[in-house]
Amino acid sequence: MSRKPTKGYYVKGHFVAEGSDLDLELKRELKGTDSSSKTDLKRESVELQKLGEDLLQLRADAMQQLVAQQHVPELLFEAIRDAKKITNFEGLRRQMQFVGKLMRKLDETQVQAIRDALDVQHNGSAEETLALHMSEHWRDRLLKDDTALADWLAAHPDTDSQQLRALIRQARKDGLPDKTAVSQGAFPRQGRAYRDIFKIVRDQLSAQKVAPE
């Protein structure tokens, strides 16, 4: 009675034994040449291996989008899905080595798309970051420039003008952040009015997506 191979990896749910004809065929398909130095190739290999491991944590909707856009080939998707089912440490290690080999077959556009998807999941989108900076810009301008309120209301007429005026007066009364203290690493606690102005501005920009002047 033949014994089930103990060393190998999974491709589309099927076990591939190391040293088998299928294993050798897959390795031939995955093998490529490059003019880069061995050090560069090693570094790139390690980076792609880590990127493949990070893909296991990518949200399902983001993964499906990458697959639909052909940034993640079907074979790589299946290999990652199989890896999530493996609980044995050694089996998972070998499966991730196979994922790494598949990652090295991707072109630069595919790799960058994967990095971008992971970055959005970890740090938020570039649009969210821009909205944060826009909100800070308007809050600071409203507190420092008497003409800013009229400009804001002209661009965002749905704003409760009386509430915003009252908050600006209160925030100025509370005092603006000490730039010297901030530059030295201190972050003094701000009053509620200061925070409420930011929230009003942030909510309006999110709803209307209007850039600051």
Residue 163's pLDDT is 94
User: pLDDT at residue 6 above 70?
Assistant: no
Among the listed residues 17, 103, 107, the one whose alpha carbon sits nearest the alpha carbon of residue 55: 103
Residue 15 or residue 212, greater confidence: 15
User: pLDDT at residue 177 above 60?
Assistant: no
User: pLDDT at residue 141 above 70?
Assistant: yes
CB 87 within 8 A of CB 39: no
In the chain, where are the structural domains located? 8-123, 126-208
Long-range contacts of 204-209 (CB under 8 A, 24+ apart): 204/156, 204/158, 204/159, 205/131, 205/134, 205/135, 205/138, 206/131, 208/156
Residue 211 or residue 30, greater confidence: 30
Residue 7, phi then psi, degrees to nearest 5: -115, 130
Q: CA 98, CA 76: separation in Å to the nearest integer?
A: 9
pLDDT in tens, 94-134: 999 999 999 989 888 899 889 888 888 877 656 666 777 78
Among the listed residues 55, 79, 208, 49, the one whose alpha carbon sits nearest the alpha carbon of residue 135: 208
Mean pLDDT of the chain: 80
Q: What sections of the chain are H helices per DSSP?
A: 21-30, 38-54, 60-68, 74-85, 89-103, 108-123, 126-144, 148-155, 161-174, 179-183, 192-208
User: pLDDT at residue 28 above 50?
Assistant: yes
Return the CATH architecture of domain 126-208: Orthogonal Bundle (1.10)
Q: Can you tell me the mean pLDDT for 129-146?
A: 85
**pTM, full prediction:** 0.46
* Angle at alpha carbon of residue 96, lines to 56 and 94, rounded to 5°: 145
pLDDT in tens, 188-204: 456 788 888 988 998 88
pLDDT in tens, 35-63: 455 666 678 888 888 999 999 988 888 88
